[in-house]
């Protein structure tokens, strides 16, 4: 992990998921972690902090993750967004990949998956 203190945005309406992800990330490195609990707030925080990596849930209040992903890609084309969902249906996978997601992880994740992603990106 070469870059010093990267910023990671976690977008999920569940406090539990955000907590577990934060605990997991802190095991693997030193990150500035930002949290969003709705689709709309994830866009606002994305603009404000310009994170290096985003973990983005699909089913969220006020704006779903696929729409949020599309907006993020318009703001910053090379952003790495990892979709994180309990529902890895064919249509969700297709929509996420077409919209430019870097990867798709079905919940519950394994720590090794997160570690692998962090090693590849940083």
Partner 1 sequence: MFSQYFGNYLLNRGLIRPDQLTDALEYQRSMRLKLGVIAVNAGYMTPAQVEEIHNMQKKVDKRFGELAIEKGYITEQQLEEMLATQRQGHLMLGQALVDRGHLTIEQLQEALDNYRKEYGMSSREFNVVRKDDSLEIEQIFRDYGEALLGKLYSDYVTLLIKNLIRFVDDNPTVEINQLKSDITAQWFASQEIYGKINMLTAIACDRDVFVKFAAKFAQEDITEPDELAQASVGEFLNLHNGIFLVNMSNNGVELEMNPQQVETNRTLANPGKAYVITCHMTWGRFDVILV
Residue numbers at the binding site for partner 1 (CB under 8 A):
13-17, 19, 59-61, 85-91, 106-108, 110
Nearer Cβ to partner 1 (19/119): 19
- How far, in Å, CA of 57 to CA of 39, rounded? 9
CB 8 within 8 A of CB 51: yes
Nearer Cβ to partner 1 (21/54): 21
Nearer Cβ to partner 1 (17/81): 17
CB of 2 to partner 1, least distance (A): 29
Helix, strand, coil percentages, rounded to 5, for the chain: 45, 20, 35
- How far, in Å, CA of 87 to CA of 96, rounded? 12
CB of 112 to partner 1, least distance (A): 9
CB 93 within 8 A of CB 82: no
CB of 88 to partner 1, least distance (A): 6
């Amino acid at each position: 992990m070469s870059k010093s203190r990267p910023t990671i945005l976690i977008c999920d309406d569940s406090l539990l998921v955000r907590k577990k992800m934060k605990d997991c990330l802190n095991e693997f490195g030193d990150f500035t972690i930002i949290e969003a609990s709705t689709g709309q707030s994830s866009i606002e925080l994305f603009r404000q902090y310009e994170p290096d990596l985003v973990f983005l849930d699909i089913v969220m209040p006020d704006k779903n993750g696929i729409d949020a992903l599309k907006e993020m890609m318009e703001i910053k084309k090379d952003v790495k967004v990892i979709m994180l969902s309990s529902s890895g249906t064919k249509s969700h996978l297709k929509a996420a990949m077409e919209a430019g997601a870097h990867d798709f992880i079905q919940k519950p994740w394994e720590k090794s998956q997160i570690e692998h992603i962090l090693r590849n990106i940083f």
